[in-house]
Amino acid sequence: MARDHKPTRHRSRVIAASVATLTLGGTALVEIPVSAASKPRGHDVSSHQKNVNWSKAKSKGARFVYVKATESHTYRNPYFSQQYNGSRKVGLIRGAYHFAVPNKSSGTTQAAYFVRNGGGWRADGWTLPPALDIEYNPYDKKKRCYGLSRTRTVNWIKAFSNEVKRQTGRRPVIYTTTHWWKTCTGNSRTFGANHALWLARYSSAGAGELPAGWKVWTIWQHDNGSGSLPGDQNLFNGSMTQLKRFAKG
């Protein structure tokens, strides 16, 4: 996802070390594969993008967006309202995501905080299901999996998912990389059957290998901030009709 001022850092600095990326001077240069070019384009934003010009984003091709709402159980994006409500006003399908910090509090605690602060869902066709952003620890490289065992990590995600489902009626979309999933969950197959996958991989060759349990990706983050839309660049794996159906649940 995109950089926040405090307390999170730029996620892609950690991700880039473990995914295929074409770089020039540290900037990702990733072209969308021809086979994916017709899919609905979207992006994700956080406080780094501040007040977004949503009309301009739509004119450049945005059809959906995920907005960072919270991190851990203490941080709220100060620009959330402008980003979440502003995108809806111009006709974008939008949703909220939570940046997980599993060593700070339980999955249940962070899920409840997320839902209280923007992570809700309605079956209106305009609201994407809540999303969990879980990736390498940006605060301590020696504890890349937050000091949790693979079993504890899987249980943390389960607890987060169960609380989001209890409060909103939807299972969260899981944002991750295949490398992180293998390293920190042991390539668990637990979630693939009932959680949509939002995969980060910066490569013109396509989304690549999926984490265990998933047969398809639902959203692919193919670029970490060098595209035409504010923040990171995403594609939805389907048509606009299917995107609206996915939002409605």
Q: Which residue numbers are catalytic?
A: 44, 133, 135
Report CA dihedral (222, 225, 226, 228) to the nearest 10 degrees.
Answer: 90
User: What is the DSSP code string of 144-193?
Assistant: TTTT--HHHHHHHHHHHHHHHHHHHSSPPEEEE-HHHHHHHHSS--SSTT
Peptide bond just before 7 cis, omega within 30 deg: yes
Distance CA 188, CA 207 (A): 19
- What tokens does 49 get? 């993008």
Determine the Cα–Cα distance for residues 244 and 2; give it in Å rounded to an integer: 24
CA 89 to chain centre: 22
Q: What is the CA radius of gyration of the chain?
A: 16
Number of alpha carbons in the 13 Å side-chain half-sphere of residue 65: 32
What 3-state DSSP class applies to 218? coil
d(CA 66, CA 243): 13
Secondary structure (DSSP) of 7-62? S---THHHHTTTS---EETTEE--PPPGGGTTSPEEEEE-GGG-S--HHHHHHTTE
